Amino acid sequence: MKIKILTLFPNMISGFLNDSILKRAIDNQVCSIELIDMRQYSLDKHHHVDDTPCGGGAGMVLACDVVDRAIEANASEATYKILMTPQGRPYQQHIAKELSSMEELLIICGHYEGFDERIRSYVDDEISIGDYVLTGGELAAAVITDSVIRLLDHAIRKESSEDDSFSNGFLEYPQYTRPIEYKGKTVPEVLLNGNHKLIREFRLKESIRKTYLRRPDLLENRELTSEEMRYLNEVKKEEASQ
């Protein structure tokens, strides 16, 4: 997969590409990431990329001609173009899966007061990572990049991403490691007996418990299997009795 990020501040993103899973994925040619400075597509001798808003108002607005030239120079027919904006569709795990199947992504980082409305007509998608406003789209683009790359084949072990929170509609089950006992708190016995059937059942039930307690909204529109419904009813009874 190829990911290109159009930004006015490449240094805000470059650092996180040099560590951990992302660096290994790049080194192993699982993906390639290119940071593109939008200023090089300004025709102004001072490389201006913005201007004052028409009709007045505070701040500066990212110019549509600069962004259009940057997109044309870096996109092909196979490129899926994404604009990072708080007005976009809320980012969720299923969207990360959609994007991970793409051949090439071009992520456009807004900045300043906003961007010229006409820029919307040059992209395929608009995404928001939350109901808050950042200084620019760089951190949001980094979030998209990280969440997509870890889903690619050979980036991490397949079973690791399959157990992530939201991957199956639930929050992830609780995890433990050594020491088995610490300050009076012990690892659940079921995780130590080697019975994979019981371990799977325990993890599913505890995953449902976490979701019920912390994100009940995830259960509202999810069609549960008979096993999942049984565990949910058990969890409700157990929590009500406490």
Give me the catalytic one of 24, 86, 172, 215: 86
Among candidate residues 37, 68, 113, 146, the one labeled active-site is 113
Residue type at 34 in one-letter notation? E
In this structure, are residues 139 and 12 in contact, taking their beta carbons and an 8 Å threshold? yes
164 counts as catalytic: yes
Q: pLDDT tier at 168 (50, 70, 90 boundaries)?
A: confident
**What pLDDT is attached to residue 31?**
96
Task: Mention every residue, 6+ apart, whose C-beta is less than 8 A from residue 49.
Answer: 8, 38, 39, 42, 62, 63, 66
Beta strands in the chain (DSSP E): 2-7, 32-37, 50-51, 61-62, 79-90, 104-109, 114-115, 125-128, 181-182, 185-186
Flag whether pLDDT at 161 surpasses 60: no
Task: Report the SS3 class of residue 41.
Answer: helix
The pTM of the full predicted model, rounded to 2 decimals, is 0.87
Q: Which CATH entry fits the domain spanning 181-240: 1.10.3720.10, 1.20.120.1200, 1.10.1270.20, 3.50.50.60? A: 1.10.1270.20
Catalytic residue chosen out of the listed positions 150, 206, 209, 228? 150
For the chain, which residues make up each domain, given as ranges? 2-158, 181-240
On the question of a cis peptide bond just before residue 174, with omega within 30 degrees of 0, the verdict is no
pLDDT at 191 over 70: yes
How large a percentage of the chain has pLDDT more than 70?
95
Kindly report the number of other CB atoms within 10 A of residue 10's CB atom: 17
Rounded CA gap, 67 and 41, in Å?
8
| Distance in angstroms (rounded) separating the CA atoms of residues 211 and 119 | 38
Mean per-residue pLDDT for 14-41?
93
Contacts of 10 (CB under 8 A, 6+ apart): 35, 36, 37
Cα–Cα distance measured from residue 161 to residue 86, given in angstroms and rounded to the nearest whole number: 27
Residue 158's pLDDT band (boundaries 50, 70, 90)? low
CATH fold of 2-158:
Alpha/beta knot (3.40.1280)
| Residue found under tokens 């300043």 | 112
Average the pLDDT over 103-126 and give the result. Answer: 93
113 annotated active-site: yes
Q: 65, 164, 172, 201: which is the annotated catalytic residue?
A: 164
* 164 has a pLDDT exceeding 80: no
Give strand pairing partners of 83: 108, 126
Q: How far apart are CA 52 and CA 62, in angstroms?
A: 9
